[in-house]
Chains A and B, each alone.
Chain A
Amino acid sequence: MPPPGGLEYCGLRKVDGPLFVIEGVRDVGFAELVEITAPDGGVRLGQVLEVGRGAALVQVFSGTSGLSNTHTRVRFLGTGLQIPVSTEMLGRVFDGLGRPKDGLPPLLGEELRDVNGLPLNPCLREYPRDFIQTGITAVDLMNSLVRGQKLPIFSGNGLPHNRIAAQIARQARLLRGDLRFAIVFAAMGVKYDVARFFIDSFERSGVIGNVALFLSLADDPSVERLVTPRSALTLAEYLAFEKGMHVLVILTDMTNYCEALREIATARGEIPSRKGYPGYLYSDLASIYERAGRMEGREGSITQMPILTMPSDDISHPVPDLTGFITEGQIVLDRDMHQRGIYPPVAGLPSLSRLMKDGIGKERTRADHPHLAAQLFAAYAKVKDIRALAAVIGEEELSPLDKLYLQFGDAFERRLVTQGEEDDRSITQSLDLGWELLRMLPRGELYRLTEEELKERYDTAAKSEPT
């Protein structure tokens, strides 16, 4: 069989960082896939970034080291970057470009798909509404996750984001019946230990057969990271919208992805915007994050959980900032809580789930959930103010009510937020725990709850339980 693509060219004009320029080419398309044979005989893949007037600018996914201007051979393959997709990919390990990395033979895909995908038609989207119980109270009660949501974890170096993501992946279930599910895991520039940790966690809980891993680790070329999440999401879209599976996609670490993007942009001499990141970082991230959701008339769904480490814990850094503008909320981890030994250290106030309002309440979780969560938020916000005040005037000077709030705040963090890594709490347990804590506060303070809710859950229990 003759190799795909047309002519083979020999020799480059210029090699610069992860890019090279080749001249005298004909019939080359924009964004076309390129096969490069290095002088040592190794074959690499690249993609056309710009083409015109007989020259093409190509980025090489596996790095340009060893390429020479004279002895490199280049072939244009006539298609965009595609990967084979099939249900057989579950249980397997791939590199960022979708090539097997587990020593097993390559797959015969059921279909070849362009990794960049196409935009989903917004008028065919189905609004996500099905509550997912993660077993973590700080998420279920306060920042509920729904099927088809994209909810990132904003973390920092040294914080237990991986443990939380793995716990969610292990415990996540729908309240009503479980359907076919799969996990697609993409690692970008993380260390092998991190990937190993997730694999072990999936193995222990016996779901590894339902997991497809795309690994582009810290020692893999940085450009490959640009494709890794797209390969993963291409498979996820196939599984969700063709095969009717409910797919959880974990992307870690998006900060490394953005850095690879910055590297390419800088090498191309593009005008930087904030902190050297290219002006199109938002659009680029959106082309990843928006590949989530539910579609009309299709069984499956894609729920995304990207993980990103905020450089020096700065939430206004372009990567978390632009992510927060696209995703539907965020789970923010708090270093101070972590230092105090609280697991999971989910920050109470900056965390948010935008889709929570439609996924909870009557017939979804429980009728009192929305007001209960709002009241807990309001009370905890007050705790933060009182703590700041106590730091100045001393705890002794606080009013009796303020002291009650401080006790509530401690209980909130120690009893409601804190739980074990194997502790899988039902939503009813979480809700009841919320009420138990609110009973520490006087009834008059609970203005976000209705009279009926207070009668049903505050008054009755206050009578039956001696304090």
Chain B
Amino acid sequence: MAELRTVPDGPAAAPVVVPGGDRDSRFARRMIIAGASILSVVALVAVFAPLLSQWGETEIDAANTLVAPGGSHLLGTDGNGMDIWSRVLYAARLDLGIALAAVALAVVVGTLLGLVAGYFGGWLDDVLMRVVDIFQSFPTFILALAVAALLGNGTINLIITIAAVNAPAYARLVRAEVRSLRELPFVDAAITSGASPVGVLWRHLLPNSLTPVRVIAPLNCGWAMLTLAGLSFLGLGVSIPEAEWGAMISLGAADVVGGRWWTSVPPGLALFVCVLGFSLLGEGLQDRANAKRR
């Protein structure tokens, strides 16, 4: 690894090279690029799904149910005669859309709660954090099930459910960040410059407390997508004719047992690739943030 150049002046003049210094950040950059590329492809597929498939999202080819891949159905059809390839592509819209919307909602709500709790402290902090404790003390999926069952089906309700499960983490993260930022001189500087509490929160604490949020949010999108798929798999998510990967896996589960793998494997793979994209992006951002801190 050491690059040793020979210099005419003899051994003492040859530079001693200490390797390293940039490996971590280079690796992080590759992860970010890989994750972003995967997600861009998924996003493009979601947008151009009608151009990439010859069947509609819920179009039924009644004559051909459960046909194997090949021919006019690239990845075969399911038990209702719907084209798997088309549905996998169309499902990207719903999966990506719900996951992003849910995480965005969780970030907004969680950040606001964390800001207020962290800055004002006292009884407000106690009350908010105990509520967060209650949310976090349930296993994530059980909580999601409970909320989903309570709210009922529908895209909006799904977004709320998944956001409710994820918001407490942001509240905690931002609260911790605000509590340490609050002790820094720039906050004192803002107060002595006559900034109002809202001004201090909005102009000074908010922009500075978002660093960890930026890192966690992409990872969180991956988890949100898995939660969505899980809920759909259990029948609490997207209703059947609409294309969603979890629901498709669920629908095809019985056929897989009968040897017809193409009903469930393609949506499963799509889900896998998408979550991988989010994970790579998130991990990469995290590593880069850590490298910067050093």
Do chains A and B interact in one complex?
A: no
